[in-house]
């Protein structure tokens, strides 16, 4: 059996609380939005899909090598957007602004390392963000985009990233449960 696996940087409790409270006004669209639990807010660096437990040590070694070459950094979580920007929105996310460029550099190092062990790079461009909700198509969908737009300039706070985490994801009826498999400090030689 294989586990749905991803590599991420977590956001702190302050950002989680701010995102959750500021999104309260969007809760007036019952049935149109499925909310991500605040405890699950994170910035995905790489989604690996199904990884067999026998390969997890290889993935962890790639993460440890990429993390060793990184240094801790700060980023901002700011502005909600409904994506895609045109047509029917499917997801609501908060933008991540990383002036240092460390987040993108870490993600690229992970991609190169994962390709080295036979795990292909995702087909889409890396756009760092925190997913807060998924949107179902209902008559209320158009109104959701307008309400999300009212939060496009909000600042949800800053995050000091000092570790990268390998998670497995177990899909449950009330939302996914993310389990950390490995936590590796940025700039460290181990995990």
In this model, does residue 34 exceed pLDDT 90? Answer: no
What domains sit in the chain, N to C, each tagged with a CATH number? 3-185 (3.90.1140.10)
Q: What is the average per-residue pLDDT within 160-184? A: 89
pTM for the whole structure: 0.91
Per-residue pLDDT band for 140 (boundaries 50, 70, 90) equals: low
How many Å apart are CA 189 and CA 191, to the nearest integer?
7
Q: What is the average per-residue pLDDT within 113-117? A: 96
Average the pLDDT over each of 108-122, 123-137, 177-191 and give the range with the smallest value: 177-191
pLDDT for 52: 87
How many Å apart are CA 132 and CA 146, to the nearest integer?
16
Helices (H) and strands (E) in the chain, counts: 4, 9
Q: What is the average per-residue pLDDT within 33-47? A: 92
């Amino acid at each position: 059996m294989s586990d749905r696996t991803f590599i991420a940087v977590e956001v702190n409790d302050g950002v989680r609380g701010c995102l959750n409270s500021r999104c309260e006004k969007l809760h007036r669209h019952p049935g149109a939005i499925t909310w991500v639990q605040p405890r699950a807010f994170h910035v995905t660096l790489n989604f690996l899909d199904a990884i067999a437990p026998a390969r997890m040590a290889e993935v962890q070694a790639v993460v440890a090598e990429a993390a060793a070459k990184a240094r801790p950094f700060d980023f901002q979580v700011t502005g909600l957007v409904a994506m895609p920007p045109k047509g029917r929105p499917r997801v609501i996310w908060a933008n991540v602004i990383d002036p240092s460029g460390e987040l993108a550099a870490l993600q690229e190092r992970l991609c190169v390392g994962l390709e080295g062990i036979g795990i292909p790079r995702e087909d889409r461009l890396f756009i760092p963000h925190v997913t807060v909700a998924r949107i179902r198509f209902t008559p209320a969908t158009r109104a959701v985009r307008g309400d999300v737009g009212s939060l496009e300039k909000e600042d949800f706070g800053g995050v000091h990233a000092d570790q990268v985490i390998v998670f497995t994801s177990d899909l449950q009826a009330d939302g996914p449960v993310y389990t950390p498999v490995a936590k590796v400090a940025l700039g460290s030689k181990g995990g």
